[in-house]
Structure 1
């Protein structure tokens, strides 16, 4: 009996001393803004890029009458060739549902879109939120864009958020590049983060990256962040003539 009481006493003491887990901190900073962003990537048939973009340029106003286009780019380097990438903004999922129904019922848009469907081999889409500490920033003038896609280790922003933010800000603080937005995927490949950068040119981007590799603050922040990264892919994007982000 004494041995049993002793065991119970030790168990109760252990429970009293154990750290209390608060579920509100389980996923890190909360996304209170319902605004979502749809990332759409189209892989086109070889030699059809110019024709596709010319067709879209003529009719894009029919589509933007329904919802906001953030940007529209063609890929120059990185991964598959003959790709276009565009981002659409919605207030929430209900808004997107209404927009998708509206464009499906828009006979003028559907008729204008039909000729371009034959040029597309693959369509991909993802739904993402801006991370809570970021908002979309418009670049000061025309340039080129870099989309960096990170596959993070499972656990979410509560695990990698602070270290990743420090790595991003270390590059921003050098001033050679401008951060447009950081997005965390909700639908699509999970544990994925998209970082969209603007640079004045591909040459200025290369020079800035070389500079950052010599900066101890950037090196320290990146070394901390890479512990949470599984893989990384970079793409150089050229904005189209009708893209709101130039």
Structure 2
């Protein structure tokens, strides 16, 4: 009983688990496509030519190809919706959009081996920040221990803020899964280049404040994957 009471107290007090996210229905759909190796260029060329057919229906946040850190011939794109009703309305409109189906959907389906879709929210303590200039992106995906943000949210927040406040990288957004693998957090970082990312990471490893914050957060971590992303020419986030 005492353990349950303790968990409930944490749930009530956690700034990660309560607050703006519950009032703001805005959601972000992460789409990850594994493409047939021989079709990557053709797929991206078709998307570039016809992306306007899709963005006419809802907002594209960013579109990237994976450079390294995971399966190659993979693209990641993020779409923004006001709420679930908005997403449903968009999907219904796309079904009726023959131009989108014939020029965008049908040709691209032949190039895709696998699709993964996750629905996420921005955490309450961040908003999407658009970099001032072009660069590369890093998507760090953290699989946290079961228990939800009430358990690990505050420690994770401190770890992210410490990296940002020390100036080692630029934060674009922190997204918490609602559908997909739960207790998963995607942190999207911007770097001027892969080399600047490496330099900043090496320096941060020797920073006592970063080390202390990360040491606290990893107590709740099960696994982590980092991938380097290259924005496409048609990606709003460059």
User: Shorter-chain TM-score: what band?
Assistant: over 0.9
The CA distance in 1 between the partners of 2:39 and 2:205, in whole Å, is 38
| TM-score normalised according to structure 1 size | 0.90
Highest CA radius of gyration, 1 or 2? 1
Q: Which segments of 5 or more consecutive residues in structure 2 lack a partner in the other structure?
A: none
| 1:38-68 alpha-carbon deviations (Å, 9 max, x no partner) | 0001100012111110000000001000000
The CA distance in 2 between the partners of 1:74 and 1:68, in whole Å, is 19
- Give the one of 26, 44, 53 matched to 1:53: 44
Distance verdict in 2 for CA 1:205–1:21, change over 3 Å:
closer
SS state at 1:80 partner: coil
Written as runs of structure 1 = structure 2, the 5 A alignment for 1:169-188 is: 169-188=161-180
Structure 2 equivalent of residue 72 of structure 1: 63
- Give the one of 30, 39, 43 matched to 2:34: 43
Cα displacement (A) at 1:136: 0.4
| 1:65-89 alpha-carbon deviations (Å, 9 max, x no partner) | 0000000000001121100000000
The CA distance in 2 between the partners of 1:195 and 1:243, in whole Å, is 18
The yes-or-no answer on 1:142 pairing with 2:134 is: yes
The CA distance in 1 between the partners of 2:157 and 2:63, in whole Å, is 26
Structure 2 equivalent of residue 223 of structure 1: 215
Cα displacement (A) at 1:176: 2.8
* Cα contact 1:69–1:87 (8 A) shared by 2: yes
The CA distance in 2 between the partners of 1:109 and 1:63, in whole Å, is 7
- Matched positions, count: 230
Cα displacement (A) at 1:104: 1.2
| 1:10-36 alpha-carbon deviations (Å, 9 max, x no partner) | xxxxx9xx8895697177323221000
SS state at 1:48 partner: helix
Cα displacement (A) at 1:174: 2.0
Structure 2 equivalent of residue 11 of structure 1: none
The CA distance in 1 between the partners of 2:136 and 2:8, in whole Å, is 45
* Cα contact 2:11–2:150 (8 A) shared by 1: no
Cα displacement (A) at 1:231: 0.2
* Cα contact 1:70–1:86 (8 A) shared by 2: yes
* Cα contact 2:10–2:150 (8 A) shared by 1: no
* Cα contact 1:176–1:199 (8 A) shared by 2: no
